[in-house]
């Protein structure tokens, strides 16, 4: 029972920090302004980790690699701690175990990034219907615009209704399937 409680707590804390670090990475990548309540929260929660990490991990082509590396390390540490509590671990081939852990953590970052995008699309669509002039609308618009713009070129408005968020959500759900299969494949190989 205590192992289940510890697993839950580790999972919740690791997922919280990974989601917030990924949000910071995506905000910077997609040039979402941080001068809003969500942006200020993200900066406040992650600043103590990211600022020192930037001294060690440089950015690359405008991408904040320090934040991404931190998200990956937190995810890997969480996966390792959960596996250790369950009685697993690197096993007889520690190199293979570490490589598997690193790969699964990277795949989880992709999956969690897609979760952030799904959340942003849903919130942006709902806000556009119920409160189109919300102060949060520009945040979610900036997060989703790069992904919705190509779809909007092919999917016309139907009766004034934009169906591109629905098309994007279906495409994202399809992407979750090979990601899950790839994760299972990597875990089966270890």
Tell me if 39 sits within 8 A of 32, measured CB to CB.
yes
Q: How far apart are CA 20 and CA 28, in angstroms?
A: 12
pLDDT value at residue 92: 45
Q: How far apart are CA 152 and CA 66, in angstroms?
A: 33
Query: What is each CA distance from 61 to 13, 15, 64, 132, 166, in whole angstroms?
Result: 30, 27, 9, 34, 32
Tell me if 143 sits within 8 A of 34, measured CB to CB.
no
Tell me if 152 sits within 8 A of 161, measured CB to CB.
no
Range of the domain at 53: 2-189
What is the mean pLDDT, run by run of 10 residues, along the chain of 190 residues?
92 97 96 92 96 93 93 96 78 67 95 97 91 90 95 89 94 96 86
pTM: 0.90
pLDDT value at residue 27: 96
Q: What is the total count of domains within the chain?
A: 1
pLDDT value at residue 116: 97
pLDDT value at residue 62: 84
pLDDT value at residue 89: 58
């Amino acid at each position: 029972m205590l192992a289940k409680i510890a697993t839950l707590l580790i999972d919740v804390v690791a997922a919280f920090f990974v989601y917030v670090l990924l949000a910071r990475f995506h905000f910077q990548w997609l040039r979402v302004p941080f001068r809003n309540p969500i942006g200020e929260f993200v900066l406040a929660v992650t600043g103590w980790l990211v600022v020192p990490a930037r001294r060690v991990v440089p950015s690359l082509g405008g991408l904040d690699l320090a934040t991404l590396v931190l998200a990956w390390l937190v995810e890997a540490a969480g996966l390792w701690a959960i596996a250790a509590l369950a009685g697993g671990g690197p096993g007889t081939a520690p190199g293979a175990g570490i490589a598997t852990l690193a790969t699964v953590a990277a795949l989880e970052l992709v999956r969690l990034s897609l979760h952030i995008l799904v959340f942003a699309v849903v919130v942006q669509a709902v806000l556009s219907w119920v409160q189109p002039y919300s102060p949060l609308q520009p945040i979610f618009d900036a997060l989703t615009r790069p992904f919705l713009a190509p779809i909007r070129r092919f999917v016309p408005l139907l009766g004034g209704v934009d169906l591109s968020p629905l098309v994007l959500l279906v495409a994202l759900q399809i992407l979750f399937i090979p990601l899950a299969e790839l994760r299972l494949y990597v875990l089966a190989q270890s």
